[in-house]
Amino acid sequence: MTLDDIATAAAEWQLTPLGALYEAGQTIVLLGPKEPGFWRFVTQSAAFTSAKADPLDSWSTKAITALATQTGSVAVFPFGGPPFHPFITWALRSGAAWQSPVGLLVHPDAGLLVSYRGALVFEGALALPPAGTRPCDTCAGQPCRTACPVTALDGQSYDVPKCKAHIDVSPTCQAACQVRMACPISQSYGRDPAQTAYHMKVFHSP
């Protein structure tokens, strides 16, 4: 089993590897949306449309569990805890995600829109690519730093109550986080705006 094999199998579910790492004799492959086309694929699935709660998590559970069976691995998820798996730590250790100037994770393909739907855990060590280079280091102007209209993100802390209070009155921020969208990589990622609005709605819900 290679990362190319995993990517081919994951593509059938409109997913793709977004990083991988070694831990305790195992290889952990992080999975996220394969864009463009992820949201249309997911929202047409019965696992999404029939779910009474958390439809995206329900779909992710079905898809990645099936993918684990297909690839001889174990599926793990960033939801369903406690305890929770350390996806942020895994992402940073993978060499394919870094802390951005505003503190959010940034990925070389997904920018500040990076999200992980789950991971596959393989016994043994698969061949992994070398670590990448943090894109922020060559990003002209780093527009994410000044994109938040209420400065809820400053790179040192995240004022969540302030952010949510502004979302209450801002249709623009209800549609998308302006900080995430300011990233040039985010703008070329190809994610459906409906998915971004869905995530904002979930984030803002009580």
At 132, list the tokens.
Answer: 């990448």
Phi, psi angles (nearest 5°) of residue 65: -65, -45
Instruction: Please determine, for residue 156, whether its predicted confidence score (pLDDT) is greater than 80.
Output: yes
Paired residues of 29 in beta bridges: 20, 120
Provide the residue type at 184 as one letter. P
Q: Before 161, cis peptide (omega within 30)?
A: no
Read off the amino acid at residue 164.
K
H or E element: which one contains 106? strand 105-106
Asked if 119 contacts 29 with a C-beta cutoff of 8 angstroms, the reply is: yes
The C-alpha atoms of residue 67 and residue 78 are separated, in whole angstroms, by: 16
Distance (Å, rounded) from C-alpha 79 to C-alpha 57?
Answer: 8
**pLDDT at residue 52, as a whole number:** 87
Q: Which phi and psi angles does 8 have, rounded to 5°? A: -65, -45
Residue 204: pLDDT band with limits 50, 70, 90: confident
* Residue 81 pLDDT > 90: no
pLDDT at residue number 167: 95
Residue 206 has pLDDT above 80, yes or no: no
CA-based angle 57:58:60, to the nearest 5?
60
Determine the 3-state secondary structure of 52 from DSSP: coil
Find all residues with CB under 8 Å of 67, minimum gap 6, and list them. Answer: 9, 10, 13, 15, 31, 75, 120
Q: What is the widest separation between alpha-carbon atoms in the chain?
A: 50
